[in-house]
């Protein structure tokens, strides 16, 4: 458990059972659990191949409940006389079953949705049917976007159009006059306080989004002139996703609360303060301000939001706003697990080498001597010698002075030296710089049945860390160290960074493969952003996905969303399956005429081809 830090990031949903398998407790502390390995085996029997994305709707519900419960507790604790009405940012995971489930789970809390684009607005408008829930309209807007949002008021929606650009102010005023509808408006403030780390660019004076204080004032004046200042009711900010340090949030809250107070004083009918997203996820379980972690709980977060805003408003005798947050990552990350299989491994040679003899080339004898002399006092020097001898052996080979067999012997001895040195290094407190890469050099490569570009794009694009570990054999010591290489023909298609306490490690502890026995790995906490940002590199398509719901009798597969077939991915790049088959058929007819293929062979080829087209893009 320690090795993979599962308690830190997995609690209360993921743990390890006596059989050494991952246990999933989708309802958190509220009971009920299932064995992930057994689930995967059962899904395979339903003809679903790996990689497979398993979504646990109960986890989603639990996350939503937790967030609301924390705000309720904070509101009670600080005797806040307003309420909390959160929204889910659809951008975080737009999958229909997920959004529909969220709306359903959110009903008791009047939980709403946030749209960041026109297509997301389409989803939100049709899906959200909770009376009183907010529909926050963010993102760049044109006339159509604004009109659609305003008209939805007539359907009983509560759309709040958040102005992010000065141009939008004029569009909104014109639309309001044209449609004779009084919209609820918000402004997105460009705060000086900003998040840190990978997503920190969402705030700051030159951020892409939001209005500066000067622009906010201009907005107020223009609305006033149009007799619409009472429409302005919400202040929004978002300082970036995955806020790791709570102090950053506090700074932003203070700044925003002051802007809120000022807007109220200017005559706007302020009623909502929307603190955006950013509530972090503890991917490495370290509970620190490391970028893959966060140094606060949801309760701390809710407490700070409530307390800071109350303090600022009370100090200026401004009525307390309804609090809105747009937490995406914190709601959607935990609910999905990607399970994939290891296809094969590539290992560096290990074990004691054959001794060198008098008949061997000097360089081979030197390497053997280096190997036998390695000890905890000289290992660093021995490493330098081994590297040098190996380089010399390669040069000698290139100049024709060393045969292939001798070169192979030299390389074998080099790996033997590294193995011995690594065994010493692992026990040292301090590792010299030049030996830091040794672990990585000696690591096995585990070839996995997945595309990093499709299933973990943030791992490739911004080095985001996700917990990855075997879902079984966890009561067996993982004696190998490996990195993961995916199916794509791209050297970036790999994972070489794994969670460690407040750090990253370059290798993952794994088990040796056993003949004829599958080895399954799970990538956890990847339910936010990864699916939609995944791309079709090498035409590996969407993976199979299932929705699992816990029942008193066990579990139920609520939905099966089949992954892309080859037909489908080829369609995305404008190939038509029928045309492709026809082209191949014609070719095989020509080859038949030229007697280059037999009729039987050509039939086999065509059948394989046709069958493949309707199959999954991953390896069977």
Q: Residue ranges for the binding site for substrate?
A: 273-283
Considering only 4-12, 40-48, 316-324, 326-334, which stretch makes contact with ligand PLP by CB under 6 A?
326-334
Q: Which is nearer to ligand PLP, 46 or 206 (CB)?
A: 206
Q: State which H helix or E strand residue 113 sits in.
A: strand 112-115
Single out the residue of 95, 241, 454, 497 in contact with ligand PLP (rule: CB under 6 A): 241
Single out the residue of 277, 321, 467, 534 in contact with ligand PLP (rule: CB under 6 A): 277
CB 168 within 8 A of CB 175: no
Q: Which is nearer to ligand PLP, 239 or 448 (CB)?
A: 239
Q: How far is the CB of 163 from ligand PLP (least distance, A)?
A: 13
Considering only 56-64, 327-335, 439-447, 495-503, which stretch makes contact with ligand PLP by CB under 6 A?
327-335
The DSSP call for residue 89 is: E
Q: Is residue 89 at the binding interface for ligand PLP, with CB under 6 A as the rule?
A: yes
Peptide bond into 51 cis (omega under 30): yes
Residues touching ligand PLP, count (CB under 6 A): 16
- Map the footprint of ligand PLP across residues 134-193, applying CB under 6 A: 138
Considering only 56-64, 236-244, 458-466, 561-569, which stretch makes contact with ligand PLP by CB under 6 A?
236-244
Single out the residue of 186, 276, 321, 470 in contact with ligand PLP (rule: CB under 6 A): 276
- The neighbouring-strand residues paired with 550 are 555
Q: Is residue 457 at the binding interface for ligand PLP, with CB under 6 A as the rule?
A: no
Considering only 328-336, 348-356, 362-370, 573-581, which stretch makes contact with ligand PLP by CB under 6 A?
328-336
- Map the footprint of ligand PLP across residues 25-64, applying CB under 6 A: none
CB-based closest residue to ligand PLP: 277
Q: How far is the CB of 263 from ligand PLP (least distance, A)?
A: 19
Q: Is residue 328 at the binding interface for ligand PLP, with CB under 6 A as the rule?
A: yes
Q: Where does residue 571 fall: left (phi above 0), alpha (psi -120 to 50 degrees), or beta otherwise?
A: alpha
Q: Is residue 329 at the binding interface for ligand PLP, with CB under 6 A as the rule?
A: yes
Q: How far is the CB of 105 from ligand PLP (least distance, A)?
A: 17
Considering only 275-283, 497-505, 565-573, 577-585, which stretch makes contact with ligand PLP by CB under 6 A?
275-283
Q: Is residue 565 at the binding interface for ligand PLP, with CB under 6 A as the rule?
A: no
For the chain, the helix, strand and coil percentages under 3-state DSSP, each to the nearest 5: 45, 15, 40
Distance CA 471, CA 483 (A): 17
Considering only 9-17, 273-281, 392-400, 420-428, which stretch makes contact with ligand PLP by CB under 6 A?
273-281
Length of the chain (residues): 620
Count CB atoms within 10 A of the CB of residue 512.
Answer: 14
Q: How far is the CB of 236 from ligand PLP (least distance, A)?
A: 7
Single out the residue of 130, 327, 464, 588 in contact with ligand PLP (rule: CB under 6 A): 327
Ordered alpha helix ranges (H), 266-338? 298-315, 329-332
- Map the footprint of ligand PLP across residues 587-606, applying CB under 6 A: none
Q: Which two tokens stand for residue 236?
A: 């929004």
From residue 184 to residue 223, what is the string marking binding to ligand PLP with x (rule CB under 6 A)? ----------------------------------------
Q: Which is nearer to ligand PLP, 138 or 617 (CB)?
A: 138
Q: Is the dihedral of CA 451, 4, 288, 13 positive or negative?
A: positive
Count CB atoms within 10 A of the CB of residue 108.
Answer: 10
Q: State which H helix or E strand residue 561 sits in.
A: strand 554-561
Q: State which H helix or E strand residue 148 sits in.
A: helix 143-151
Q: Is residue 93 at the binding interface for ligand PLP, with CB under 6 A as the rule?
A: no
Q: Which is nearer to ligand PLP, 241 or 366 (CB)?
A: 241
The DSSP call for residue 68 is: H
246-265 and 298-315 helices, crossing angle to 10°: 30
CB 78 within 8 A of CB 307: yes
Q: Is residue 238 at the binding interface for ligand PLP, with CB under 6 A as the rule?
A: yes
Q: How far is the CB of 138 from ligand PLP (least distance, A)?
A: 5
166-179 and 143-151 helices, crossing angle to 10°: 50
Q: Which two tokens stand for residue 381?
A: 């020097």
Kindly compute the dihedral angle of the four CA atoms of residues 296, 298, 299, 300, in this order, to the nearest 10 degrees: 30
**Residue whose pair of structure tokens reads 């929204």 in the numeric block:** 87
Considering only 246-254, 276-284, 363-371, 413-421, which stretch makes contact with ligand PLP by CB under 6 A?
276-284
Name, in order, each residue with C-beta under 8 angstroms of 16's C-beta and a sequence gap of 6 or more. Answer: 1, 6, 22, 23, 474, 475
Q: How far is the CB of 420 from ligand PLP (least distance, A)?
A: 47
**Residue whose pair of structure tokens reads 């040098």 in the numeric block:** 388
Single out the residue of 36, 128, 207, 279 in contact with ligand PLP (rule: CB under 6 A): 279
Q: How far is the CB of 6 from ligand PLP (least distance, A)?
A: 23
- The three-state (H, E, C) secondary structure of 126-143, written as one string: HHCCCCCCEEEECCCCCH
Q: Which is nearer to ligand PLP, 276 or 353 (CB)?
A: 276
Distance CA 83, CA 67 (A): 13
Please give the residue ranges that form the binding site for ligand PLP (CB under 6 A).
89, 92, 138, 238, 241-242, 276-279, 326-330, 528
């Amino acid at each position: 458990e320690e090795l993979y830090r599962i308690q830190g990031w997995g609690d209360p949903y993921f743990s390890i059972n006596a059989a050494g398998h991952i246990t999933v407790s989708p309802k958190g502390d509220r009971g009920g659990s299932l064995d992930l390995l057994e689930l995967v085996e059962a899904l395979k029997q339903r003809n679903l191949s790996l990689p497979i994305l398993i979504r646990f709707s109960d986890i989603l519900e639990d996350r939503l409940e937790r967030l609301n419960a924390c705000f309720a507790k904070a509101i009670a604790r600080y005797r806040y006389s307003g309420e909390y009405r959160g929204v889910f940012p659809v951008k975080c995971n737009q999958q229909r079953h997920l959004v529909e489930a969220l709306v359903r789970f959110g009903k008791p809390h009047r939980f709403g949705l946030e749209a960041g684009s026109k297509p997301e607005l389409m989803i939100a408008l049709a899906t959200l049917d909770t009376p009183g829930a907010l529909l926050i309209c963010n993102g760049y807007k044109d006339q159509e976007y604004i009109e659609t949002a305003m008209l939805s008021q007539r359907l009983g929606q509560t759309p709040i159009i958040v102005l992010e650009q000065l141009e939008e102010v004029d569009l909104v005023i014109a639309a309001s006059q044209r449609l004779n509808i009084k919209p609820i408006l918000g402004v997105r403030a460009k705060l000086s306080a900003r998040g840190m780390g990978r997503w920190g660019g969402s705030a700051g004076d030159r951020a892409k989004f939001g209005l500066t204080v000067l622009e906010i004032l201009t907005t107020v004046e223009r609305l006033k002139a149009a007799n619409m200042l009472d429409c302005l009711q919400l202040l929004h900010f978002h300082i970036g996703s995955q806020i790791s340090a709570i102090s950053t949030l506090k700074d932003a809250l203070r700044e925003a609360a002051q802007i809120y107070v000022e807007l109220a004083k200017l005559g706007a009918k302020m009623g909502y303060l929307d603190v955006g997203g950013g509530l972090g996820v503890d991917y490495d379980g370290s509970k620190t301000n490391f970028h893959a972690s966060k140094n606060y709980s949801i309760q701390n977060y809710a407490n700070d939001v409530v307390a800071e805003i109350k303090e600022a408003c009370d100090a200026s005798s401004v009525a307390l706003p309804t609090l809105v947050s747009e937490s995406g990552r914190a709601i959607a990350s935990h609910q999905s697990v990607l399970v994939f299989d290891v296809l094969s491994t590539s290992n560096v040679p290990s074990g004691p080498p054959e001794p060198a003899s008098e008949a061997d080339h000097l360089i081979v004898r030197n390497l053997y001597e280096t190997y036998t002399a390695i000890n905890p006092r000289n290992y660093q020097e021995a490493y330098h010698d081994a590297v040098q001898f190996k380089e010399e052996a390669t040069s000698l080979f290139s100049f024709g002075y060393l045969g292939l067999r001798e070169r192979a012997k030299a390389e074998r001895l080099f790996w033997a030296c590294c193995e011995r040195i690594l065994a010493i290094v692992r026990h040292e407190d301090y590792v010299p710089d030049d030996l830091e890469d040794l672990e990585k050099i000696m690591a096995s490569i585990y070839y996995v049945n997945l595309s990093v570009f499709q299933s973990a794009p943030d791992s490739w694009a911004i080095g985001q860390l996700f917990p990855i570990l075997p879902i079984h054999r966890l009561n067996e010591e993982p004696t190998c160290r490996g990195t993961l290489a995916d199916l794509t023909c791209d050297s970036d298609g790999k994972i070489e960074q794994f969670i460690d306490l407040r750090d990253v490690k370059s290798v993952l502890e794994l088990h040796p493969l056993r003949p004829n026995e599958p080895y399954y790995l799970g990538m956890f906490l990847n339910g936010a952003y990864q699916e939609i940002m995944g791309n079709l590199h090498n035409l590996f398509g969407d993976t199979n996905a299932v929705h699992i719901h816990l029942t008193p009798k066990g579990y139920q597969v609520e939905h099966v969303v089949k992954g892309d077939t080859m037909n489908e991915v080829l369609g995305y790049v404008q190939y038509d399956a029928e045309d492709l088959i026809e082209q191949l058929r014609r070719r095989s007819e020509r080859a038949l005429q030229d007697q280059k293929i037999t009729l039987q062979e050509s039939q086999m080829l065509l059948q394989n081809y046709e069958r493949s087209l309707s199959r999954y893009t991953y390896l069977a």
